[in-house]
C-alpha cells in the first residue's frame, strides 16, 4: 500500500511591501518563503508576480485589510508587553525605530531578517518582517514570560533517624 505524499500547503497573506526608498506595493505573499532566499515573490493585486530582492526592502507588513493604514499607529509599547517572547527595539538604517516582540528562539533570529509582532495588537498590522540589511541596531529590552527557577537552597545534611528499637525508656 502506497501512501500519498502530501505537498506542504501554503496560504498567501495580505502584505504591504515597503522598499528602502519608501515606495510601497500591496499584494499577497507566501510567508513560508521568507528568509529562505535572496528575494520575495509578491503577487500583486493585478495578478502579476514581482520578485523583489531583500536588499531593496525595508519592511513587509502583514495586514488585516488593504484599505486601512499599514504603518503601525504605535511604534513602542506603553508598558511591559504581556505576550511571551523577547521584547526588542529596532532602529532602521534610515533612522526610524520600532519596538516589537519576537519568539524566544535564537536559532532563527536574524538569519536573513526578523519577524516581529508590533506593539498595537488591535491595529491593522498583524506582524512585520524586516530584512537584516534594513537594520542599523537590534536591542533586546527584556524577556517576557520567562519562568524563574527557584533559588537553590543550601545543601543540608540528612537528618539521622533514631533507633526505632531503642530499649531505653524515654
pLDDT given for residue 129 in this prediction: 94
DSSP structure string for 13-26: EEEEEEETT--EEE
- Provide the residue-wise pLDDT of the chain in tens; the chain has 170 residues: 444 444 455 689 999 999 999 999 999 999 888 877 889 999 999 999 999 999 999 999 999 999 999 888 888 988 888 888 999 999 999 999 999 999 887 766 667 789 999 998 888 999 999 999 999 999 999 998 866 655 555 555 555 666 656 565 55
Contact 27, 43 (CB under 8 A): yes
CA distance 3 to 5: 6
| Residues with Cβ within 8 Å of residue 96, at least 6 apart in sequence | none
pLDDT given for residue 1 in this prediction: 46
| Residues with Cβ within 8 Å of residue 15, at least 6 apart in sequence | 26, 27, 28, 29, 42, 60, 61, 62, 63
Cell of 111: 538569519
pLDDT given for residue 5 in this prediction: 46
CA distance 75 to 54: 23
Amino acid at each position: 500500500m502506497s501512501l500519498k505524499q502530501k505537498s506542504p500547503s501554503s496560504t498567501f497573506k495580505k502584505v504591504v511591501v515597503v522598499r528602502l526608498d519608501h515606495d510601497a506595493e500591496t499584494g499577497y505573499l507566501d510567508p513560508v518563503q521568507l528568509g529562505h532566499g535572496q528575494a520575495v515573490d509578491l503577487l500583486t493585486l493585478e495578478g502579476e508576480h514581482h520578485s523583489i530582492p531583500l536588499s531593496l526592502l525595508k519592511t513587509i507588513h502583514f495586514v488585516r485589510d488593504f484599505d486601512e493604514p499599514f504603518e503601525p499607529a504605535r511604534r513602542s509599547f506603553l508598558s511591559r508587553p504581556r505576550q511571551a517572547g523577547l521584547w526588542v527595539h529596532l532602529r532602521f538604517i534610515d533612522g526610524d525605530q520600532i519596538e516589537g516582540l519576537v519568539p524566544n528562539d535564537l536559532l532563527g533570529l536574524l538569519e536573513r531578517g526578523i519577524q516581529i509582532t508590533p506593539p498595537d495588537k488591535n491595529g491593522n498590522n498583524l506582524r512585520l518582517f524586516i530584512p537584516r540589511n534594513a537594520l542599523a541596531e537590534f536591542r533586546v529590552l527584556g524577556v517576557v514570560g520567562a519562568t524563574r527557577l527557584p533559588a537553590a537552597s543550601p545543601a543540608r545534611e540528612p537528618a539521622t533517624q533514631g533507633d526505632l528499637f531503642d530499649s531505653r525508656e524515654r
